[in-house]
Amino acid sequence: MLTVTPPEAKPQDESTEVPGVPVAGGPLPHGTNVAVASTVTVADPDDLVSTEKTPTLVDRVQAFRAKYEKQEMALFFFAGFLYDVLTLSPVDDALTEVQNFVYLAFLAGLLMLEQRYPEGVEPPKLLQKVWRFREDGLHFFLGSLLSAFTLFLFKSSSGFTPFVFLAFMFSLLVANELPRFRQLGPVIRIGLFSLCVTLYFASLLPVLLGRVGWWIFTLAVALGCGSIYGLMRVLKRWRPDDAALLLRTVAVPGFGAQAVLLGCYLLGVIPPVPLAVQYSGIYHEVKRVSAGVYHLTSEERPWWKVWTLWHHGDQEFSLRPGEQPVYFFRIFAPKGFAPYHVRVRWYYDHPEKGWTSLGKGYLATVSSNGTEGGYRFYARPGAPPKPGDWRVVLETEEGHEINRLGFTVVPDERTEPRPVTVDVSTLKIVKPVPLEEWLKTQPPAAAVPAVAVPAKAPAAAVPAAKATAAPVPSEAPSAVAPEAVEPEAVEPSAVEPEAVDPGTEATEPAP
């Protein structure tokens, strides 16, 4: 048998020896002119040219926005709020009410769809393309409504207590723009929706019914509760097995917001929308010189008292014997509003007892005059006040504050005539204008003011129960001079006898 033995296998060297070529890594032989294999990679010249895209203007703007995202959010928020301040129509504007209703309808629809298709549930094909914008839409409508209602409340508020609620509303408006707030989900959004519904009816019902009062606001709360109940009924049909979830995410925040609003109103925290004082001031004298024209006399301010530039009249009241401060104000109510009562209260900052009410105040009857200028009224405390800090407060019959104005009484020992400034208040112009400017706008025949109306006999005072109060500089209650009756806007001048306290100083009623 023939056997073939295979050749012995020897390990091969990794390097291949080529005659005349040195081994890589080995020493070069002397006197040998050979090429050495290089291990360095030579770059292609085309690779040395940067292929990165040059940023465009749009790219730079986007990068800048990403860097200052929070500052951009704050800037756009305050710009939008300022735009609303400058462009918001009056509370009785029909277009504004219709717009707010449409916003509420869209908001309710988005909230129901959000509950119908929560996270993890795919929406129908019809909504898939726009579904990712639902959150932006929700917060757009919430921001617009909160902004409008905050401004309505701001115009109807004065003093510290209503501003607490305004601060709460403004904080909600700011929080609505924050990403962390948005991540809280539907619970917060349902609560804000419930808040907006009630505030909408609280501003709409007084315009439609021509009334203000606790029962109007209670009706608004009832309608707000009805909207939350209707929302729950619809969602229960869509998700019958999630009753506990609906209770937690819809009922609790929705009805909870209604309870908070009702409590705030009963405590006097919510201002009496739509009533709003458009102007108020303290003067030495208020005189009707012609139909619809009043002269408001105040002491001329020295140029160096720069802190008085924002004063209305004599908020630093220099008192001479026999003088009284006059509180002049003009209050707005929607057209067609029924006559209503407001109360003027005077408060003195007693050195020992603090702020003390001067009697029980004066209950006056005012009404809408059909113009944006509002209904004008003025009142005196009834006796010369003591030097010190004073405050006059205008409130509704139920005690909701509409306006307050502080002033300081300073004794004046001078006997020479004081330099005075005369402003003119007209029917349709809200803020009084200097007499010189007003005369320039009048024809020559009308520029000369009419003779002051002669005084009539004081109105008879009907005795009423005297409210007990600690001794104060003066116990005489307020006296109010009603507005004039003008052909273009009838403003009744009747004063209810039962509202006048004993000893009331009757002022001259307008003819």
Model pLDDT, residue 51: 59
| Same-domain pairing of 150 and 298 | no
What's at 416, amino acid-wise? E
Contacts 24+ apart (CB under 8 A), 160-165: 161/267, 161/268, 161/269, 161/401, 162/268, 162/269, 162/270, 162/271, 162/401, 164/269, 165/264, 165/269, 165/270, 165/271
pLDDT number for residue 78: 67
Do residues 191 and 322 share a domain? no
Q: Count Cβ atoms within 10 A of the Cβ of residue 448 and give its class: 0-12 exposed, 13-18 middle, 19 or more buried.
A: exposed
Domain boundary among 217, 233, 266: 266
Measured at the alpha carbon of residue 304, what is the angle toward residues 303 and 305, in degrees to the nearest 5?
95
What is the pLDDT at residue 428? Answer: 84
The confidence score (pLDDT) of residue 299 equals 94
Give the domain extent around 201. Answer: 88-266
Residue 169 belongs to some domain of the structure: yes
143 shares a domain with 261: yes
Q: Which residues contact 364 (CB under 8 A, 6 or more apart)?
A: 341, 342, 343, 344, 377, 379, 480, 482, 495, 499
- Grouping H, G, I as helix, E, B as strand and the rest as coil, residue 301 is coil
pLDDT at 469: 35
Same domain (yes/no): 206, 236: yes
Task: Choose the final residue of a domain: 246, 266, 286.
Answer: 266
Residue 318 lies in a domain: yes
What's the CA gap between 44 and 26, in Å, rounded? 29
Query: Could you give the 3-state DSSP secondary structure of residue 441?
Result: coil
Give the tokens for residue 282.
């303290």
Whether 196 and 99 map to the same domain: the answer is: yes
- 280 with 260, same domain: the answer is no
Boundary of a domain, candidates 219, 245, 266: 266
232 and 360 part of one domain: no
Question: Does some domain include residue 57?
Answer: no
Q: How would you classify the pairing of strands 479-481 and 354-357?
A: unpaired
Q: How far is CA 461 from CA 45, 400, 506, in A?
A: 107, 26, 8
Per DSSP, the residues of 10-77 read -PPPSSPPBTTBPPTTSPPPTT---PPPP-PPPPPGGGGS--PPPP-HHHHHHHHHHHTHHHHHHHHH
- Residue 117 falls inside a structural domain: yes
- Digits of tens for pLDDT over the chain (511 positions)? 444 455 555 555 544 555 555 555 555 555 555 555 555 555 555 555 555 667 788 788 778 877 876 666 666 666 666 677 677 788 888 898 999 999 999 999 988 888 888 776 777 777 777 777 787 788 788 888 888 888 888 888 776 666 777 678 777 767 766 677 666 667 888 888 999 999 999 999 999 999 888 999 999 999 999 999 999 999 888 877 778 888 888 899 999 999 999 999 988 888 888 898 999 999 999 999 998 899 999 999 888 888 778 889 999 999 999 999 999 999 999 888 888 999 999 999 999 999 999 888 888 888 887 677 789 999 999 899 999 999 999 999 888 889 999 999 999 999 999 999 999 999 888 999 999 999 998 887 655 555 444 444 433 333 333 333 333 333 333 444 444 333 333 333 333 322 333 333 333 333 3
Q: Are residues 320 and 171 in the same domain?
A: no
Query: Is residue 412 a contact partner of residue 282, using CB atoms and an 8 Å limit?
Result: no
Split into its structural domains, the chain has a count of 2
Give the integer Cα–Cα distance in Å for 71 and 67.
9
Query: Are 371 and 412 in a shared domain?
Result: yes
Distance CA(374)–CA(368), nearest Å, equals 7
| Rg of the chain (C-alpha set) | 39
Tokens of 319: 């008192």
Does residue 22 fall inside a structural domain? Answer: no
| 305 and 163 in a common domain | no
Cα–Cα distance, 91 to 204 (Å, whole number)? 8
Q: What 3-state DSSP class applies to 279?
A: strand
What pLDDT does 496 receive? Answer: 30
Cβ neighbour number for residue 508 with a 10 Å cutoff = 17
What per-residue confidence (pLDDT) applies to 26?
A: 56
Non-local CB neighbours of 299 within 8 Å, separated by 6+ positions: 284, 314, 318, 418, 419, 420, 421
Distance between alpha carbon 392 and the CA centroid of its chain, in Å?
A: 24
DSSP letter string, 205-264: HHHHH---SHHHHHHHHHHHHHHHHHHHHHHHHH-TT-HHHHIIIIIHHHHHHHHHHHHH
What pairs with residue 283 in β-bridges? Answer: 326
Residues 6+ apart with CB under 8 A from 339: 365, 366, 367, 492
- Does residue 427 lie in a domain region? yes
Contact between residue 259 and residue 222 where contact means Cβ atoms under 8 Å apart: no
Task: Determine the pLDDT at residue 62.
Answer: 78
Helix (H) or strand (E) holding 411: strand 401-411
**Same domain, yes or no, for 378 and 451?**
yes
Q: Are residues 195 and 319 in the same domain?
A: no
HSE-CB at 447 with a 13 A cutoff on CA atoms is 10
Flag whether 72 is in a domain.
no
Assess contact for 186 and 114: CB atoms under 8 A.
Answer: yes
Q: Per the domain annotation, does 271 fall within a domain?
A: no
Q: What is the pLDDT of residue 439?
A: 92
Which positions ≥6 away from 252 have C-beta within 8 Å? 187
Of 488, 494, 210, 511, nearest in space to 373 by CA: 488
For residues 354 and 470, what is the distance between their CA atoms, to the nearest angstrom? 11
Question: What is the pLDDT, as a whole number, of residue 487?
Answer: 32
